[in-house]
């Protein structure tokens, strides 16, 4: 992979028409239309994106995975094998919005993680502390608890995305020192609690924008970015992808 990975998380945004415009604009951009970039659309639009991205190296990603692993009577659910069938290379798991609004905890996320690992889809486990947890000084322990479900796995099998809850959609970015401390701590935890010595990929997310991407992505232990709002704008996303491409 050249450069660092950038995943655009569209969250619950889009329509057939706006997705088509957005993706076509992205594919015309040199910095976006390359390996090392992925787009996570709502499930309903994955097929449309798979189609639009057919001849592009930009990868497809899902925003969530069902806790049910195989076909069955689970109305409304989309399983990991279905996401693999759709061509998803990555699936986000445990995004803070899912932990918050859908009360996803380690029990259900552990099942989702195992279901995803049983397919060719790479899970991207999102972790992050609230402002209160950070201010009370227990942020490192909170993240270790969230990582617990990835203990014992082969190193590198699960990608981690560190997204401080207080930095998501707020315009408040963690300082470079805070990001470095947490990424180092996550990597040290993986080394201690996982098997083998394959490279561990840790992405940063939380108000990554065109004007701060380069500084954040320059940190050695930051292996890429998980981008929300700025991934809905071709110009901003292109600048983030450009910053990532320059930094290996
Ligand atoms: P923003 O980039 O909008 O802060 O969102 C970050 C995020 O939650 C990506 O998953």
DSSP string of 207-246, one letter each residue: S--TTTHHHHHTSTT--EEEESGGGGSHHHHHHHHHHHHH
Predicted confidence (pLDDT) at residue 38 exceeds the cutoff of 80: yes
Substitution site in 5, 11, 92 for ligand 1 pocket (most atoms within 8 Å of beta carbon): 11
- Closest residue by Cα to atom 7, ligand 1, is 228
Cα angle 5, 232, 81 (rounded to 5 degrees) comes to: 60
Give the percent of the chain with pLDDT over 70.
99
| CA–CA dist 143, 138 (Å, integer) | 9
pLDDT of residue 248: 66
Asked if 237 and 8 touch (Cβ cutoff 8 Å), the reply is: yes
Distance 195 CA to ligand 1 centre (A): 30
Question: Does residue 201 carry a catalytic annotation?
Answer: no
Predicted confidence (pLDDT) at residue 234 exceeds the cutoff of 90: yes
Q: Which of 129, 133, 163, 201 is catalytic?
A: 163
Q: Is the pTM of this model over 0.85?
A: yes
Predicted confidence (pLDDT) at residue 147 exceeds the cutoff of 80: yes
Question: Does residue 95 carry a catalytic annotation?
Answer: yes
- Closest residue by Cα to atom 5, ligand 1, is 228
pLDDT of residue 173: 86
Mapped onto helix, strand or coil, the DSSP state of residue 123 is strand
pLDDT of residue 46: 98
Ligand 1, CB within 6 Å, residue ranges: 9, 95, 163, 168-169, 205-208, 226-230
Sign of the alpha-carbon torsion through 82, 228, 27, 15: positive
Return the ligand 1 atom nearest residue 230 CA: 2
Greatest extent of the chain over all pairs of C-alpha atoms, in Å: 49
Predicted confidence (pLDDT) at residue 2 exceeds the cutoff of 60: no
Q: Which of 95, 139, 183, 201 is catalytic?
A: 95
pLDDT of residue 169: 87
Distance 118 CA to ligand 1 centre (A): 27
Cβ neighbors of 183 (< 8 A, separation 6 or more) are 162, 202, 204, 219, 221, 222
Distance 143 CA to ligand 1 centre (A): 18
Distance 248 CA to ligand 1 centre (A): 22
Closest to 221 in 3D by CA, of 243, 199, 196, 193: 199
Give the percent of the chain with pLDDT over 90.
95
Q: Per-residue pLDDT averaged across 156-166, rounded? A: 96
């Amino acid at each position: 992979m050249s450069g660092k990975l950038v995943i655009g998380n569209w969250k619950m945004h889009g329509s057939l028409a706006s997705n088509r415009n957005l993706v076509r604009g992205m594919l015309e951009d040199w910095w976006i239309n390359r390996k090392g970039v992925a787009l996570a659309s709502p499930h309903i639009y994955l097929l449309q994106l798979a189609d639009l991205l057919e001849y592009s190296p930009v990868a497809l990603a899902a925003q969530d995975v069902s806790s049910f692993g195989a076909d069955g009577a689970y109305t409304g659910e989309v399983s990991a094998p279905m996401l693999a069938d759709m061509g998803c290379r990555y699936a986000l798991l445990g995004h803070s919005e899912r932990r918050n609004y859908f009360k996803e905890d380690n029990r259900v996320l552990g099942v989702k993680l195992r279901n995803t690992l049983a397919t060719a889809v790479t899970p991207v486990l999102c972790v992050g502390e609230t402002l209160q947890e950070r201010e009370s000084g227990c942020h490192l322990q909170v993240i270790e608890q969230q990582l617990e479900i990835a203990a014992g796995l082969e190193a590198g099998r699960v990608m981690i995305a560190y997204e401080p809850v207080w930095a998501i959609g707020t315009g408040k970015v963690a300082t470079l020192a805070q990001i470095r401390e947490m990424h180092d701590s996550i990597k040290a935890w993986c080394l201690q609690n996982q098997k083998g010595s394959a490279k561990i990929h840790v992405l940063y997310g939380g108000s990554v924008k065109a004007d701060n991407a380069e500084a954040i992505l320059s940190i050695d232990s930051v292996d890429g970015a998980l981008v929300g709002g700025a991934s809905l704008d071709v110009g901003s996303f292109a600048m983030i992808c450009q910053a990532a491409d320059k930094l290996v």
